[in-house]
Structure 1
Amino acid sequence: MRYFCLLSRKSTSHPNLDLLGSIKRFKINYLPSEIKHTTATMDIDAKLLPCARSQLLHIFKAGVASVMPADLIEKKVRLVDNHLVVDGISYAVTENVYLVGFGKAVAGMAHSLEKLLGRRLKRGIISVPRCSKMHCEANRSSVVEYREGAEHNQPDANSAASTELIVELVENLTENDTLLTLISGGGSALLFSPKPPMTAETKGQLCRRLQNAGAGIAELNHVRKLLSKVKGGGLAKSAYPARVLALVLSDIIGDPIESIASGPTCPLGAENPGRAAIDILRKYNLYDDLEEDVKNLLLKADENKSKENTILDKGKFKHVENIIIGSNSTALQAAEAAARDYDFDSAVLSSVVEGDVKNVSYAYAKLAHIACHALENKFSDKQDFMAAVEKENIEILKVSSEKLEKAFETLSGLGKGKGIVLLSGGEPTVVVKGSGKGGRNQELALRFSLDWLSEIAKDPTLAKYFVLFLSAGTDGQDGPTDAAGAFGYAAVRPKIMSNLGEILEKKKSTQSSEQVRELNDKIKQIEEMLPEHILKRNDSYNFYLAFENGKDLVKTGLTGTNVMDLHFIYIKKRNCECDN
């Protein structure tokens, strides 16, 4: 495998290598003549990249392992006499415990709780995605019924039937019963029961029309909850007066319990939810077209809210305890601990990264630039460092001042020859305009490769540092692909450009018209593989599959959990000086 020094000895221009047009920040050209000689830097990178990939993958897997559903229950939940102790906090439970759950990760949670509760668990119904049941088949007993549904993560007849059974179970509970409710990402499609007279079809049509009209996610979710028997606190109301303990695995930025699986154990926040829904529908000119019985349903919602207030205390249900048992922060903490296995220093920066991957990638590249300067002792003190951060546009990463100060202390104290990992997480988004195949993590990694290369072009001293970026989804699936994510680094584009340069040189000495045509075809293929062209097609998966035989793809298989994505930036100073 060949690796290339990031900066050439000379600045070279070649008309056929300038393929970026006006995208000047990515305009760095390479020719084979400039990279034929094996330098110390290239030797170091040849060793660093495979090793660093393996190490970051281990750290990522440690983060994922920390939020595996069954392990979370075994680590965080204990039964002590008549109390369930979760993360050291005790919750009273009765002798009769019932279990319901819905989401992509609840099967493992249910299995562990069944072992923990023993005879105290009387019955359970778990609504899981298709293909989940076979993973827990060997662990099942007659006490808990595992039901599949929501194919392609959409509500269907199977998830609706499972929901009716869950509602029937909880409606028959008394004050002598305890209901354990397991909630994770994907639960909204698996717990699905429209309020009559709405049907699955009419509710779906209305929500699609509302979305297409430009409604925001908060507006859309409010209407969805109001038209559901179980969302927006509906399940908790059905379970009253039984005591409800909800164990939640968060897959949403900031861990808002009212939004995870559409908040079946959290009351609607609006004082007059029916009026609020009507106002939303009128705003988008949809209210007047509703059937009269649906309008009446919305009007009666405020009356029901008044009745609901009798079981509320300070905006929360009196009989419900909602407990986050795992989140992106949990995975980041475990990943940070795993980094110490390799004697890396580390700093957790943020678990709430969101926004367009273009802006997220740019911010990460700027952050890596500042981190390298800190390692070069270019900041006189903490205030100087903070001023440099403030100057750059990295607000999208939502790193607190406290986290930045700790990161500066870690960077300033990094021992000679040691590497550092900057850890973040969240869920950026991609605006899909092309017809390619990929996912937000692979696209983020590829964009970082270009953005970091651009930073090096502007500041050649950055070539002293080996920088490797990893972005991967904790569920093991990034978009409609079999990859969880990918690695990104500055040498990605130069590698392609060097191959292109070799073919162009070969073309110069070729006399055969047939060979020229073949070489022209190869040139066209390579040009199409340039990252900036791949990104326009949103084809990051096929890029990584072809580039370096797929070695930069992160493949874990479906993990059975989901706490969004993890992003790592690994930085280590090379033991040589790059030729400039």
Structure 2
Amino acid sequence: MSELSGGPCVYDPKGEKALTILAKYGLLSRVSLSVRELVEETIPWAMAADKQLDANKKYKFVHEYVIACNADAMECMAVESYKLGMFPVKLNSTCSGDIQEFAREYVKMASLMILAVEGKIDKLEMFQEMRDSPVCPLTDEKVQEIFPAKDHWGLGLCLLLGGRPTVNLCDEPGLGGPNQELALYFSLYWYLRTQQYPILREYTVWFLGGSSYGKDGNTPAAGAYGYKSLSTDVYPEFEKAKSAFNTAHAKWWKLNEERRFRSKIAVNLLFSSRSLEVSLITIELPYCESREIFDQFD
């Protein structure tokens, strides 16, 4: 919590840490004189606020309150999904990793639940698949708790996870957030998973991501949803367009090379024919006339 609040809300003892770091990396001579004088002070300077510390070295005038967290949000989602007739399964509220890792692990977890219901895997196999997950590792106790039974699904199964994925921004990032990218990758990976396990095609699977953060947190780009046909409709068309482009580009390159080759042959033939004409003329015509013809070809 203290790291989130930051700045003047958190006490930071003014010791010799800065001087030690600068000396360790040989940077002391490269900082300005005012900075060097500050870090070399034998008696650390103190702010007025430093006089208002409690026994735990926290400012007396700062009060920290946790209003809600991912676990609280998952509890509320579980209640609401149950009202809709679905069976909620709370998996993990502290998932971490990059966007593609999130998408792959979410897809794996959803597919394992379906394969378990269909009797294709047992509890041990599910545990072995998820115990070392970089995003949502599950213990054997958790697998025992969530291992599904089809008669308990109601109108559907709702897998609940929370966390904060890492987003790698491009050179010119647009308006969007982690949920936008996560929904797209989930749709793509779920489509690929259904190709690997055709039985998954019999189930309708949706992804919903919400509660974004950053500048997109209070915009229409804050949440997103994904589904298999998003990939079956869009991704195959993208592959077709990409294949058509590559084919057209290869054909264009071939035609361009053939045109260059024909142009080179035509130029060589032109110079050869001119040389032949000149040779014939110089043999058959007097010197003065052949000189005029040469001048015409120069």
Instruction: State if a TM-score over 0.5 links the two structures.
Output: yes
Map Cα deviations across residues 48-100 of structure 1 (whole Å, 9 max, x no partner).
Answer: xxxxxxxxxxxxxxxxxxxxxxxxxxxxxxxxxxxxxxxxxxxxxxxxxxxxx
Partner of 2:30, secondary structure, is coil
- Report SS of the residue matched to 1:395: coil
Structure 1: gaps of 5 or more residues:
1-256, 502-521, 528-580
Q: In proportion to residue count, which structure has more strand? A: 1
Residues 1:472 and 2:210 are matched in the alignment: yes
Answer 1 or 2: higher relative contact order, Cα 8 Å, separation at least 6.
1
Aligned equivalents of 2:188, 2:111: Cα separation in 1: 13
The alpha-carbon distance between structure 1 residues 397 and 320, as it changes in their structure 2 partners (threshold 3 A), is same
Q: Does 1:491 align with 2:232?
A: no
Match of 1:443 in 2: 181
Following the alignment from structure 2 to structure 1, what is the Cα–Cα distance between the partners of residues 106 and 43?
A: 46
Alignment of 1:73-88 (within 5 A): none
| TM-score, normalization by structure 2 | 0.65
Distance 1:376 1:302, change over 3 A: farther
Cα distance in 2 for residues equivalent to 1:478 and 1:406: 38
**Cα distance in structure 2, aligned partners of 1:443 and 1:276:** 40
Conserved in 2, the CA contact under 8 Å of 1:360 and 1:428? yes
Separation in structure 2 between the aligned mates of residue 323 and residue 481 of structure 1, nearest angstrom: 26
- Pairwise CA distance, 1:426: 2.1
**Structure 1 pair 264–500 and aligned structure 2 pair: CA distance change class (3 A):** closer
Which amino acid in 2 is paired with 1:337? V
Question: Cα deviations across residues 327-366 of structure 1 (Å, max 9, x unaligned)?
Answer: 2222222122111120211122222223221222111111
8 Å contact kept, 1:343–1:418: yes
- The answer on whether the counterparts of 2:183 and 2:207 sit within 8 Å (CA) in structure 1 is yes
Q: Which residue of 1 aligns with 2:166?
A: 429
Within 2, Cα distance between the matches of 1:346 and 1:303? 55
- Assess if the C-alpha contact under 8 Å between 1:265 and 1:322 holds in 2: no
Q: Counterpart of 1:294 in 2: which secondary structure?
A: helix
Change (3 A) 1:523 1:387: closer
Deviation of residue 259 (structure 1)?
Answer: 0.9
Match of 1:313 among 43, 55, 66: 55
**Structure 1 residue matching 2:210: 3-state secondary structure:** strand
Partner of residue 155, structure 2? 418
Matches within 5 A, 1:256-405: 257-262=1-6, 264-268=8-12, 274-281=15-22, 286-300=27-41, 303=44, 311-314=53-56, 316=58, 321-381=63-123, 383-390=124-131, 395-399=133-137, 401=139, 404-405=142-143
Counterpart check, 1:452 vs 2:190: yes
Does the 8 Å CA contact 2:87/2:153 hold for their aligned counterparts?
no
Correspondence 1:147-166 to 2 at 5 A? none
Deviations 1:126-152 (A, max 9, x none): xxxxxxxxxxxxxxxxxxxxxxxxxxx
Q: Residues 353 and 398 of structure 1 are in contact (CA less than 8 Å); yes or no, is this contact kept in structure 2?
A: yes
Q: Is the 8 A contact 1:277 1:298 kept in 2?
A: yes
SS of equivalent to 1:324: coil
Q: Which amino acid aligns with 1:423?
A: L
Task: Answer 1 or 2: which has greater helix percent.
Answer: 2
Q: CA deviation at 1:315?
A: 5.2
Identity of aligned residues (%): 27
> Cα–Cα, structure 1 residues 267 and 302, in superposed 2: closer, same or farther, change >3 Å?
farther
| Amino acid in structure 1 at the alignment position of 2:34 | D
Bigger shift: residues 485-494 or 412-421? 412-421
- CA 1:299–1:353: 2 relative to 1, 3 Å: farther
1:273, 1:302 within 8 Å by CA — same for their partners in 2?
A: no
Closer, same or farther in 2 for the Cα pair 1:353/1:304, shift >3 Å? farther
**Structure 1 residue 420 displacement after superposition:** 1.3
Structure having the higher Rg:
2
Provide the C-alpha distance between the structure 1 equivalents of 2:22 and 2:106, rounded to a whole number of angstroms: 39
Maintained 8 Å contact 1:469/1:487:
yes
TM-score (norm 1): 0.36
Pairwise CA RMSD of aligned residues? 4.0
Counterparts of 1:442 and 1:301, CA distance in 2: 53
TM superposition shift of 1:467: 1.0
From the superposition, tell whether residues 435 and 477 of structure 1 become closer, same or farther in structure 2 (CA, over 3 Å): closer
Q: d(CA) in 2 for partners of 1:304 and 1:446?
A: 52
Q: CA deviation at 1:291?
A: 2.4
Provide the residue aligned with 1:229 in structure 2.
none
Q: Distance in 1 between matches of 2:33 and 2:56?
A: 34
Q: Superposed, which structure 2 residues align to 1:138-287 within 5 Å?
A: 257-262=1-6, 264-268=8-12, 274-281=15-22, 286-287=27-28
Deviations 1:395-433 (A, max 9, x none): 332445388336524x23652552111112222122223
For residue 468 of structure 1, report the CA deviation from its aligned partner.
0.7
> Alpha-carbon deviation of 1:262?
0.8
Partner secondary structure for residue 396 of structure 1: coil
Which amino acid letter does the alignment assign opposite residue 159 of structure 2?
Answer: L
Q: Distance in 2 between matches of 1:301 and 1:414?
A: 72
SS at match of 1:259: helix
